[in-house]
Structure formats: structure tokens, C-alpha cells
Amino acid sequence: MSADDSAILAIDQGTTSSRAILFSTDGQILGVSQQEFEQLFPADGWVEHRATDIWQSVLNVGREMVAQAKASGIHILSVGITNQRETSLVWDRQSGEVIYNAIVWQDRRTADHCNNLRQEGYLDGVKAASGLLLDPYFSATKVAWILDHVAGARQRAEKGELCFGTVDSYLIWQMTGGKRHVTDATNASRTSLYNIHKGCWDTELCALFNVPASMLPEVLDSAGHFGDCGANIFGQTLPICGVAGDQQAATIGQACLNKGAIKSTYGTGCFMLVNTGHDCLATKNNLLSTIAYQIDGQPTYGLEGSIFISGAAIQWLRDGMGLLSSAAESERLASSLAGNDGVYMVPALTGLGAPHWSPDARGAIYGLTRDTGPAHFARAALESVAYQTFDLIEAMRADGIEPNALRVDGGMVANGWLMQFMADIINLPVDRPVVTETTALGATILALLGCGEINKIDDITDIWKQDKQFVPNMATTDRAAILAGWQTAIERTLLD
Ligand code: ADP
């Protein structure tokens, strides 16, 4: 069988759906299967997934792709997994049954726990060891919540009867029939329990968050042999050879493998990650220090900034306000105006993320006049995505990063007007790749490396192909004037 008949099965277990994508060894998409699953909102600010929904959807899409590969005479070399990060599961070591639903990264139920720890002065210590902030976003307080709210759970955990895992870890446990309780360094680095400098679970963090170390998975490199997915799962035995959290996988899929290379993903929210090489930069600007990937025991670090609302502002204009018939219409409306006429939107619909981290901030629109119409709203929502990107890049600059371009992906990058405006505002070229499935591509690259098909991660840089480069084309004075309006809008919003 020639190399052309070989493929990687990439499993992309996301927040709203699970996907399986069959990638050829040169990064072409051969097939895609996707299944959405139910989001559970049991109380204000709570977000859960049923573990069985996650697993069943992965089984369904994986089986479909394996069957397609078989029918086409394609040999699957290995499985790569990428996943929604921070989402936490606790299950019984014997039966594999979870003791509670998966608590999703968006869940805010542990906000008070985090506030208390902050007030008790633990923020600096947590930041120094884990690279993260004290926020319900991360796994540690979610696990503690499960242990404290499910009858008998804490005692069982102390006795070593329970396992904790992020979604990758849970999937590998299921795929290997309970033989492997493992995770990779990128996923471990999002739990608040992992010391990203020492490369191990941190005893003090485990004590602080009250999570017994016996529950934690073994942490492996992002590429290697995680275990074998049994023949009963997808129809044939397959080695699992690459694992990374979704944003880290997208960083690899965007071939941001050199220090200073930045990618930004624009979906519901926006996640920007810059590769900082083998140095773990301590941010002074409320970004997160994280592990971008770990290969041969050597971590490559990243700095990350998350914006909670980007595409969701367009969704809100479409579904909440009824101002747009489709997300794509925002492009026509925005480009119908010569300028923003002083109208700015601060889309703090669920608070503000990096670099402001103001959970209580709320959205605002400034500069309304009798002439303001739907086009201004659409334009202001799109512009806000570029301004927030600018703020993140400025924060990264202040932390010592000197970017020379931004690689973009996610649903919003179809909007050419926004991409050009973004390039103008950040004053850097914006590069849009041909394959925008960068997350699954990243998992594929790790799996290729893990199964020995490639020798070095850099071997794949030619997998990344540019679709279009948007080149900055705005006069410095215009840029400064437009940005001054945004700064005023943000300052006013933070004052409220
Ligand atoms: P997620 O993975 O977070 O669900 P996607 O990457 O699928 O998100 O992107 C979907 C988001 O992109 C939606 O919020 C939608 O409003 C926005 N979007 C899609 N197409 C466009 C467009 N042409 N212009 C602006 N926003 C868009």
C-alpha cells in the first residue's frame, strides 16, 4: 500500500459537537463526520454535558469515518485527539461510570470559590506555578465541586477509587477499555493543578484546590503512544498517537512553530495563542502562560489571550436583535458605510476576558445619532473583534513578543471585510490558510509524529498553505483616531 493510501483519523471533540475528520498524510481532508449534542444548563451560569453524549457522538462519527476509509481502501495509521479544554469529568476507576455530568469550561458555578481564594491571597502562587489565573474557567475548582457535592465522592477519591480527567483523558480511557488513564501536557496545563515549569502535578496546588493526587492521569508528551483504541470501538485496532487541547492543536495546525508566531481563532469567542518557544514568559498583562505542545519531553510554551465574544456578537445581532438575516450579511452592511461614524460597540455580553478580565462588565454601544442604522451596528460588532485583537496583541507586545503576522481561522474569517479591517487596525498582515480546520489538522500532525510517519514537527510546515494575505493599508493618523474612539468606549464600559 502506498503512502497515498494512508490517513490519520482526527477526533475533534468540541463544545457543541464532535467531529471525526480523515486527513491524508499531506494534510488533505478526505472525509468529515459531525454530530451535535445537547447542552445542559441546570442553573444560572452552569453548563454541563452528559458524558454518554460526548462518548456516543465520538463513537458515531469515528465509526463513520473508519467505515469510509475501509470502503475507499484507505489505511488508518493512527488516531489524533483534540478537545474542548478544561471541561472536567470524574469517573469510577472500576466501572468507568462518571459520578456527575461533565462540567464545561464555560461553567461559572465556582466563581465564589475562586473569589475566596483570591481574597485569601493565593493568586500570585497559582499564577506562578500553573501560569493561569484564579477563574472558574479552569478545571481544579470544578473537580473539587464534584467531590464536595456528590454523596461519598470525596471519601471514594481519597481511597483512590475515582479518576479525574479532561475530555481527552476520558476519551482515551473509553477507547482503551479502561487500560489507560493518561492526558497530554497541553490539557494538563489547563487544570490549575499542573506545574508548567516543573512539568508535573503540583502538590501544593492539589492541596490548595483539595483534589487528591491519586485521581490525576499520567501526563504524556503531545505526540507518542497513548494507548490502543480497541477493535470494538471503531471496528479495527488503532493506536492513539497525538493529543492536544483545541487551541494548542490549532496553533500546530497553523504551523505556528517558531517563537513569536501567533494564531487567532474566531468562532463564538476568540482565542489567540503565541508561541514563546522554550521560554515560559511570565505575563504582566493578564494573559495566560500555557504549554503549546510537548515533544520528546521538551515543552514549548505559549501565551494565550481569550476574548469571550467575537462571532457571538454577530449571532446576537442576527438571533437576538433580528438586525441580520445571516452572519454573512454583516459583511455587506459593514462595507456599505465609508466609516463607523463614531459608533462603537463593546461586546461585553458575558463580561470581558483578556486583557481586562472584568466578569461584571456588560455590553454597550456608544455614539448613537438619528442617522445610526443596522449597518452601524453590524460594522461596530465586526470592528470590535479587530479592536479586541489589537488589545491582545498590545498586551503580548508589552510582555515582550514582537509579532510579524497573524494567522487566523474559525467561522468569522470568511468575512473578508473584517479580515482587511483587522490587518489595518493591528498593522500586521493577516494570513488566512486554505485549510481552516486547523484544530483537527493539529491533532493529525501530532498523530503523524507520534506514529513515526514524520520525524520532527517542523516536517509539516509545508502542510500549511495560504489562501489569502490581507495587507495593512490604513494611514497611521486614521488608525490612531479610530483606536482612540475604541479606547474611550472600553474605558467608559469598565467604569460602569
Ligand atoms: P464555534 O466553533 O465557536 O461554534 P465557528 O468557528 O463555527 O464557531 O464560527 C461561527 C461563528 O462565526 C458564529 O458566531 C457566527 O456568527 C460567526 N460567523 C460566521 N460567518 C460569519 C461571517 N461571514 N461574518 C461574520 N461572522 C460570521
* Cell 492543536 -> residue: 249
pLDDT-derived band at 461 (thresholds 50, 70, 90) equals confident
Q: Which residues line the pocket of ligand 1, CB cutoff 6 A? A: 16, 267-268, 311-312, 314-315, 327-328, 330-331, 410-412, 414-415
Read off the pLDDT of each residue in 291-310 and give the average, rounded to a whole number. Answer: 94
The structural domains of the chain, with segments of one domain joined by +, span 6-246
Gap from CA of 311 to ligand 1 centroid (Å): 5
CATH of domain 6-246: 3.30.420.40
Model confidence pLDDT, tens digit, residues 18-63: 999 999 998 899 999 999 889 888 988 888 999 999 999 999 999 9
What is residue 2's predicted lDDT score, i.e. its pLDDT? 43
| CB 29, CB 197: distance < 8 Å | no
Query: Which one is predicted more confidently, 299 or 108?
Result: 299
Read off the pLDDT of each residue in 445-465 and give the average, rounded to a whole number. Answer: 88
The count of other CB atoms within 10 Å of the CB of residue 11 is: 27
What is residue 332's predicted lDDT score, i.e. its pLDDT? 97
pLDDT-derived band at 3 (thresholds 50, 70, 90) equals very low
Model confidence pLDDT, tens digit, residues 238-252: 999 999 999 999 999
Q: Which atom of ligand 1 lies at the shortest distance from residue 414's CA?
A: 23
Gap from CA of 65 to ligand 1 centroid (Å): 25
What's this model's pTM, rounded to 2 decimal places?
A: 0.91
pLDDT of 261 > 90? The answer is: yes
**349: which DSSP letter?**
B
Gap from CA of 343 to ligand 1 centroid (Å): 22
C-alpha pair distances (Å), 220 with each of 199, 340, 434, 445: 10, 49, 31, 16
Q: What percent of the chain has a predicted confidence (pLDDT) above 70?
A: 99
Residues in the chain: 496
Read off the pLDDT of each residue in 72-78 and give the average, rounded to a whole number. Answer: 96
Distance between CA 260 and CA 175 in Å, rounded? 36
Read off the pLDDT of each residue in 450-476 and give the average, rounded to a whole number. Answer: 90
**319: which DSSP letter?**
I
What is residue 4's predicted lDDT score, i.e. its pLDDT? 66
